[in-house]
Chain A
Amino acid sequence: MVENRGLNYWLTHVGLSFGVLVLFFPLWLAFVASTVTNSEVIHPPMPLWPGDQFFVNYGRALIEGDSGQTSASVARMLLNTVTVALGIAVGKIVISFTSAFAIVYFRFPARKFFFWIIFLTLMLPVEVRILPTYEVVAGFGMLNTYSGLIFPLIASATATFLFRQFFMTVPDEIVEAARIDGARPMQFFIDILIPISRTNIAALFLIMFIYGWNQYLWPLLMTTDPSMNTIIMGVEQMIGGQDDVTPWPVVMAASMMAMLPPIIVVISMQNLFIRGLTDSDK
């Protein structure tokens, strides 16, 4: 690398730090707002330094939500969100891994056809077919259920595609060696393919978990029963209309709790996460 010297070096740091601060600013204010009283927030300017209401606001959000008007308690919503995010991540990985295995490692009639069927779903998000999907889920009586929240969101091939790409990079000789060692397809699958894919599985798990956690439109339509709310849509529900008074500190406490789990996951496993993300570039 061509080294920076003197002034340039410091300008680089100043530029980056400025970017970091701008990105950080809304998060900081949200945190501050979650630690002060409502009257401090609604009489501008709001403070820039945390107050002493941390436990009051977080406690209220966790246990009461917005006092049962339109949303459930944050604790309940977090439970729902964890369930849905795990369901989406696990479900998607399981169905994608097995079908990618079938497509890559077998020759069977109509394989090409299935291949294209599955790949047609690439990149077409649930938003595009939202109304008919709603009808289908309603028809199954799956409104306000976890499965109704999960299944439509795993009906796409992104993960299948990524696993296929990865399987293609596994040397043929590994399969041949396994066959000579006498491994049946499922033995190869369990003893060899899953272990050598574990980094990819983990990376995809992270991405899918965050994807599931951050779902908004679908839970918004699906869950008319507040006890099935997920946290992301639930926070929005806590904000009052124009006439209502919004309990901002509680909303911001709920927002913080909605953001922090995925933020912690991303930061603590960032190498794995980045690898999974940039692999999808291929």
Chain B
Amino acid sequence: MSGLILKNVKKSFGKVKVIHGIDLEVEDGEFIVIVGPSGCGKSTLLRMIAGLENVTDGDILIDNLKVNDKEPMDRNIAMVFQNYALYPHMSVFNNMAYGLKIAGLPKSEIAERVRQGAIMLELDGLLDRKPRELSGGQKQRVAMGRAIVRQPVIFLFDEPLSNLDAKLRIQMRIEIKSLQQRLGTTSLFVTHDQIEAMTLADRMVVMNEGVAEQIGSPMDVFQKPETVFAAQFIGSPAMNIIKAVSERQSLKLVNGTSLKCLTQSNGDVLVGLRPEDLKPDKKGKIVMNVKLFEPIGASTILHGTLNNSDTKIVSVVQGLLSPKDRLSEMSFSISPEAIHLFSRDTGKRIVN
């Protein structure tokens, strides 16, 4: 049983193709995060599932029913918008109840559902207020409340946290996650924020230019990125990508440094090194000309270039470096398991 299935879903606006064919099967109760840079098509994909955009090609199935041509309200979904999209002239109660009224539910049931939703979201004292009398976080809760009371098969979230300040965003993120776990409702959550993606997702879809670069659990994507794009998009600071030539298990980086790795390949490759996998080591082979030290509390970010090249690299070192440790040239080593290899032609991960 599967809540949502996408089969080779495509979208074009006129001649411009924005989504090139996405396949996805979402398990019941799963929390899927669609993450990617702006303009990658993630919101369009969500809006197609909601029924706000037409599907150019492919099928969308909800509860095993093809819904391509169904109106949003007939799809059993609910959506939370980035700017909340609360009806400004309606009270919180009416905002939450509007969909139920249209569906023709009896008054007593509407009142009961709204009451329960309000308690769940700690909105019970605010039901008579108008949206303009609410704080950003409260508006966000009302938007979620409006989704919850409909008791949909799927929740759709379109960057719901990006209008909140940093502190509130983290708090709401936690609330959304625990609410979803409590309700067990299948959820799709669109964001450009990789931390939101990592923390919320059961599985995530990394999208770029209308293509799903990788679909997998956050740890999968982080540990075994399938493409250069996924590798660089997930993780902060982003993974270092260095041109190299490989011969079996030995690599020759663009600056001439030789490294050993576990993956076999021959020819032109891209080497991916996570900044936090670069360990300071006086005998290390990777030498960095450091341009800038950025202490961020528990650790320090080092920006610089690979020596004898202009390839930029970044590393993260635990702790605050004392001034005498801040050398303009630092050496690092990396364990062979932590080296990622990508094809220079296709950008795909090389595995054997």
Contacts and interface: CB of A to CB of B under 8 A. Distances in A.
Chain B: interface size category: 20 to 34
A181 B85 contact: no
Interface string A179-221: 1111100010001100110100000000000000000000000
Interface string B182-206: 0000000000000000000000000
Given A196-B87, A196-B89, A176 B52 contact: yes
A227 B102 CA distance: 50
Max count, chain B CB within 10 A of own CB: residue among A173, A191, A192 = A173
A174 B102 contact: no
A192 B99 CA distance: 12
A173 B102 contact: no
A267 interface: no
B88 interface: yes
Contacts of B146: 177, 181
B89 A180 contact: no
A180 B87 CA distance: 13
B85 A171 contact: yes
A173 B89 contact: no
A105 to B, nearest CB: 14
A177 B81 contact: yes
A166 to B, nearest CB: 13
A174 B87 contact: yes
B130 to A, nearest CB: 11
A179 B72 contact: yes
B99 A174 contact: no
A171 B85 CA distance: 8
A198 B89 CA distance: 10
A180 B102 contact: no
Contacts of B72: 176, 179-180, 182
B79 A182 contact: no
Interface in B113-152: 146, 150
Contacts of B73: 179-183
B49 to A, nearest CB: 11
A173 B83 contact: yes
Nearest to A177: B85
Interface string B321-343: 00000000000000000000000
Given A187-B102, A191-B98, A180 B79 contact: yes
Nearest to B147: A180
B50 interface: yes
A173 B72 CA distance: 13
Contacts of B103: 182
B99 A176 contact: no
A183 B73 CA distance: 8
B102 A183 contact: yes
Contacts of A191: 98
A129 B102 CA distance: 48
Contacts of A187: 102
Interface string B65-105: 00000011100011101111111111000000011001100
B98 A173 contact: no
A183 B99 CA distance: 8
Nearest to A172: B85
B50 A180 contact: yes
Contacts of B81: 173, 176-177
Contact of B98 (A176, A181, A198): A181
Given A179-B72, A181-B73, A182-B102, A174 B52 contact: no
A192 B84 CA distance: 15
Nearest to B158: A173
Contact of B88 (A178, A182, A183, A196): A196
Contacts of B51: 179-180
A176 B85 contact: yes
Given A173-B82, A179-B71, A183-B102, A192 B77 contact: no
A192 B73 CA distance: 17
Contacts of B79: 176-177, 180
B47, B50, B102: most-surrounded residue (chain A CB, <10 A): B102
Contacts of B50: 176, 180
A174 B98 contact: no
Given A176-B50, A180-B99, A196-B88, 16 more contacts: A171-B85, A173-B82, A173-B83, A176-B81, A176-B85, A177-B79, A179-B52, A180-B51, A180-B72, A181-B73, A181-B98, A182-B72, A182-B73, A182-B103, A183-B102, A196-B89
18 contacts: A171-B85, A173-B83, A176-B52, A176-B81, A177-B81, A177-B87, A179-B51, A179-B52, A180-B50, A180-B52, A181-B73, A181-B99, A181-B150, A182-B72, A182-B99, A183-B102, A191-B98, A196-B87
Interface of B: 47, 50-52, 71-73, 77-79, 81-90, 98-99, 102-103, 146, 150
